[in-house]
A and B are shown apart, each in its own frame.
Chain A
Amino acid sequence: MQFPAELRYSREHEWVRVEDGAAVVGITDFAQDQLGDVVFVSLPAVGSKVAALEKMGEIESVKSVSELYSPVSGTVVEINQAAVDSPETINRDAYGEGWLLRVAMDGGLPDGLLSADEYRAVVGAE
């Protein structure tokens, strides 16, 4: 299971990468493994506001439906239509092609996001 050191993580199993001042957000490798095959993902519309630790969408796998929580606050500037159209991308490459959305943050990263080692400890992975 992968926990790239350059990313920050939320306890709700999302990852964040800051890129040109915007936050790129996705779900972690651990999350996609727990969910199993992802069949549907619902994301907020471009232009809408998201708030840290608040619900921003839903992800459905063959096992269950889970809520997606935004790890950051700001305005959605782009969503990954390829992941919406082919949700298997999220299983295949959660940190790369399976990214979900890009957010122009209000301020910087919120406090309380975890490092790779801290997140690894939270999910109890060896």
Chain B
Amino acid sequence: MNRRDDRLTFERSVPGRRGLGVPAPGVPEQEPLPGELRRAAPPGLPELSQAEVVRYYVGLGRLNYSIETGMYPLGSCTMKYNPKANDEVAGLSGFAGAHPLQPDELSQGVLEALWELQEALKALTGMAEATLCPAAGAQGELTGMLMVRAWHRGRGEDERRRKVLVPDSAHGTNPATAAMCGYQVVAVPTDPAGNMDMDGLRAALGDDVAGLMLTLPNTLGLWEQHILEIADAVHGAGALLYGDGANFNAIAGHVRPGDLGFDAMHVNVHKTFSTPHGGGGPGAGPVCCAAALAPFLPDPHIERRDGRLVRVRPERSIGRVGPGPGSVGVLLRAAAYLRTLGLDGIREMSAAAVLNANYLRVRLAATYDQPYDRPCMHEAVFSARALRRQGVRALDVAKRLIDYGFHPPTMYFPLIVEEALMIEPTESETKESLDAFAKAMHAIADEAATEPELLHDAPHDAPVGRLDEALAARRPVLRWTPEQSVVPAG
């Protein structure tokens, strides 16, 4: 590999060099801005040719790792491949050119596609209504919990019900959402089999509890074996059961959360239904709910009236959570994915995701500890604690995987698993790629025994070596100035 040129655009700048020639204006020059509004000195912009700029960004782009370059087993994130047909559909001019403030009668096509998505999500979750408004999974959670709170308020119980329960294995967004809604968060312990501890749940429930937020399967990648009892206990206490849809890829098409007693849940379309992850957004986090919560849905809600689709404000709406009917470009990708697969395809999708995770669980069982020894759902959680005898930690295993060409798995989550490594292959991987990953994990365990320093210093073949995360967090350098330039020019 050629030595990489790490210089920033500023460090490559040559005075007077230009990427584009700007033609002289064909109109008389206007009065210049008043003096106090004008810059004293020109802005410090880099000066480069067009080819140099293109090479710079293409060079940066080649440093990226994505699902399109290799396996991405980042547990709890469902990094599945996003079919290109989704992008084609979202880019159709009738969709891409629609304006959110266009009247309903001029928006029937795009509303039809969104309404169909609402219907599909209702069918898959077994719930009475759905909203597409929230602009991310976390905002979906907030929307759902605001609806839960509105429901209690409608019954005159909001003053009394000040607590929300979350399992001690929960995603951090759950307690954060409950706190954002003004609730006090109470953690429920996990039992030795990896289920919610039923005695702990019963002890925490009471007439001061508004709801339980639960991920199914749970964040240990395990089916919650007492889910029906949990739902009964929660409802028996007058509280609601909220579902975090983060792990829906394990059960979609096989189990409908509404049938199990969930009152509301959000769907992470970027996980389950192959819309793009990250990148700063926009995202989408539709929320599905039982009939009792439907009057509180956010504004606008898409409904069919007299054969036409309209956007309406539900009767006792919690209000707006964003500017329009949701992130349409993202939602259309989810709709395209659902239409491409159909119900049979969705069933096959989640079955393959569970099979792939269990294949890795069994293949890695001899080398990595499994804190809960039973079949998993869409992801397998391991503990690297046995490697600590060699002075090796989960972080070292994860960093070494980069050298083997894989994105590292999620580490140190769930918090209740020591030295956790959380592996979610998704249905996108073939048997060959799963085998290659397992082989790398075995090789790394061997290295931990024979050459642990190889792991401590990893990665060796990445654009940058082991970063000092502590220093980066303690003394972050957030702004580059010319004085900081360490790369010699030329």
Contact = CB atoms under 8 A, between A and B. Distances in A.
Nearest to A62: B469
A40 B472 CA distance: 12
Interface string B406-420: 000001100100100
A93 B470 CA distance: 17
A12 B411 CA distance: 23
19 contacts: A34-B418, A36-B393, A37-B470, A39-B469, A39-B470, A39-B473, A39-B474, A40-B473, A40-B474, A60-B473, A62-B469, A62-B470, A62-B473, A63-B395, A63-B411, A63-B412, A87-B474, A88-B470, A88-B474
A64 B473 CA distance: 12
Contacts of A40: 473-474
Q: Among the interface residues A37, A38, A63, A87, which one has the most CB atoms of the partner chain B within 10 A?
A: A63
A34 B470 CA distance: 15
A37 B411 CA distance: 15
Interface of A: 34, 36-40, 60, 62-64, 87-88
Contacts of B470: 37-39, 62, 88
Contacts of A34: 418
Contacts of A64: 412, 415
Nearest to A87: B474
Nearest to B411: A63
Contacts of B415: 64
A47 to B, nearest CB: 26
**Which 8 interchain pairs have the tightest Cβ spacing?**
A37-B470, A39-B473, A62-B469, A63-B412, A39-B474, A39-B470, A62-B470, A64-B415
Interface string B397-436: 0000000000000011001001000000000000000000
A40 B470 CA distance: 9
Contacts of A62: 469-470, 473
A36 B396 CA distance: 12
Given A40-B474, A88-B470, 7 more contacts: A39-B473, A62-B469, A63-B395, A63-B411, A63-B412, A64-B412, A88-B474
Contacts of B393: 36
Interface string B201-228: 0000000000000000000000000000
A103 B415 CA distance: 30
Nearest to A66: B415
B469 A37 contact: yes
A88 B471 CA distance: 10
A36 B469 CA distance: 11
A61 to B, nearest CB: 8
Contacts of B474: 39-40, 87-88
Nearest to A65: B172
A36 B415 CA distance: 13
Nearest to A34: B418
B455 to A, nearest CB: 15
Contacts of B473: 39-40, 60, 62
B170 to A, nearest CB: 13
A34 B385 CA distance: 11
Contacts of A63: 395, 411-412
Contacts of B412: 63-64
B32 to A, nearest CB: 49
A58 B393 CA distance: 24
Interface in B438-474: 469-470, 473-474
Contacts of A87: 474
A39 B415 CA distance: 18
A64 B470 CA distance: 12
B75 to A, nearest CB: 15
B123 to A, nearest CB: 38
A36 B473 CA distance: 13
Contacts of A39: 469-470, 473-474
A125 to B, nearest CB: 12
A68 B56 CA distance: 46
A54 to B, nearest CB: 14
A39 B472 CA distance: 9
Q: Among the interface residues B395, B415, B469, B470, which one has the most CB atoms of the partner chain A within 10 A?
A: B470
A62 to B, nearest CB: 4
A88 B475 CA distance: 12
Contacts of A38: 470
